[in-house]
Structure 1
Amino acid sequence: MGIPHASTEGLPPGTFQSTNVTQGIPMGLNADVKNVFQLIEENDELVLHISGEIYGGLTTIKSYQNYHLTLQFRWGEKKWPPRRYALRYSGLLYHCHGPHGAFWNVWKASLEFQVQETDLGDFIPLAGTKASIRHTHLEGIKRARFDPDSTQRTNGYISAWPEPDAPHGKWNQLDLYTWGDFSAHIVNGEVVMVVEKAKNKAGAPLTSGQIQLQSEAAECYYKNIEINPITQLPDSVLTFLKKHNYTIPRESNEP
């Protein structure tokens, strides 16, 4: 768990709090005293409820490589400082490595499959990670947007495209495929981001790691979470790559 906002109530005496929740002393591991992450039952299904009240991450014990992660996600209603008046935000971090708290004293160095209102599937490199992404710059819009037909390549925050988000409160289907240093973000059945040549801060290929689900000031729900190993990319992704003249990725340890 990260640094609670100064307005957060009901914390143990002596807990560090601040209006700047990215700097200071985090609560640390296994310190979810307010049940920010909690399994609940909803319509006879087990659902992960994330209150969002404190920044934090729910982290897998194992590391994963060459896999398909599938889950369903929807927004709740509550929002908290310091993002009470901002877009609702969570996130799926993958290829997480190194120490906890490398980014904002909360999360590990990783690649982010953005989970934000109107921005499902954006790519964000955290704590020095890098990747190559085809993109375009639209007039009047500061941030680059994913464009599978572009010849431009870049690292940094890239907006997903298209944006097939379900209406507020409805379930979204999110799928992540990773294969070597390649990954594809899929939202409600549509490829919205292709990530190539992922690297860690030292410049080495980034092909595996833990997975973290973020709590970041917005209530949300996840269910039907599955991680399955793959021996090749699915036909749907391969068809997309061929249509847009991508080089079909090979696993990083192939000759």
Structure 2
Amino acid sequence: MQEGEPVLRISGEIYGCVFTKQDFTNYDLKLKVKWGEKKWVPRIDEPRDSGILYNSQGECGVDYWHSWMLSQEFQVSEHQKGNAMGDFWCIANSSADIRASFDATKDTLKFNPTAAPVTMGKGGKGFCQAAANYELPNGQWNELELIHVNGKSIHLVNGHVVLAVDNSSFVVNGQRQPLTHGKIQLQSEAAEVYYKGIMIKPLDAMPKQYAQYFK
């Protein structure tokens, strides 16, 4: 308990996750997050890191760290070394289409709503930077929001759209299959982190103010 509110503390000492029992599809997820002080090997000198993994299916341990389920990642990361809240990662053999521009100086993709869609995963880039950094200073609570409807997702950080994900899928025998529902995982990834105010509500459709990101 902190200031009378229940708070989930993730120590970060091991790579792993806490995940829902329930399978979710078509929803608006909101939560608040702030960093603790502790960091652990192998990320002592790296930005603090966690993540919201959505559309999570199958067994844990199928990703590159042998810790998480097949899923899409709304990255929760300290803004350093090109990382930011709301970045996107393909976990295991997931895939998606994101409008992004290539930054040759950083050898990575960055969300750009006016750019052409880029297919993530499937042997290509598995990471895309958020459009901008809206993280508050360490010690303050950041409000994150994930809107997911029918394989389309919006990542918001403190009220700002930072990334849009289309055609959420996973690859089997070289073919993309829809990945539109699943459990929700919160990562433990070598940094102490706190979550609170976790709320989720069902949606019938993508809210109109976000439809422009999928035209």
TM over 0.5: yes
Aligned equivalents of 1:152, 1:128: Cα separation in 2: 19
Question: Aligned partners of 1:236, 1:112: CA distance in 2, in Å?
Answer: 23
Whether the 8 Å contact between 2:147 and 2:155 is mirrored in structure 1 is yes
Superposition deviation, residue 49 in structure 1: 0.6
**Given that residues 97 and 117 in structure 2 are in contact (C-alpha distance below 8 angstroms), is that contact kept between their aligned partners in structure 1?**
no
User: Is 1:199 the counterpart of 2:169 in the alignment?
Assistant: yes
Superposed, which structure 2 residues align to 1:1-255 within 5 Å?
41-103=1-63, 104-118=65-79, 119-155=84-120, 156-202=126-172, 203-238=176-211, 241=212, 246-247=214-215
Aligned counterpart, 1:17: none
Q: C-alpha distance in 2, partners of 1:111/1:140?
A: 26
Counterpart CA distance in 2 for 1:208 and 1:154 is 19
The amino acid across from 2:210 in the alignment is V
Identity of aligned residues (%): 42
1:139 CA displacement? 4.0
Is the partner of 1:208 in helix, strand or coil? coil
Checking the alignment, whether the CA contact within 8 Å between 1:127 and 1:201 is kept in structure 2 is: no
How high is the TM-score relative to the length of structure 2?
0.91
Contact 2:19 2:186 in 1 (8 A): yes
Q: Which has the higher strand share?
A: 2
Structure 1 residues not aligned, in runs of 5+: 1-40, 248-255
TM-score, scaled to structure 1 = 0.77
Q: Secondary structure at the match of 1:204?
A: strand
Moved over 4 A (4+): none
Which letter maps to 2:72?
Answer: L
| Structure 1 range deviating more: 152-161 or 90-99 | 152-161
Q: 1:219 to 1:98 in 2, by over 3 A?
A: same
Runs of 5+ unmatched residues, structure 2: 121-125
How far apart are the structure 1 equivalents of 2:151 and 2:44?
A: 36
The aligned amino acid for 2:103 is L
* More relative contact order, 1 or 2 (CA 8 Å, 6+ apart): 2
Alpha-carbon shift at residue 100 of structure 1 (Å): 1.2
CA distance in 1, matches of 2:42, 2:102: 30
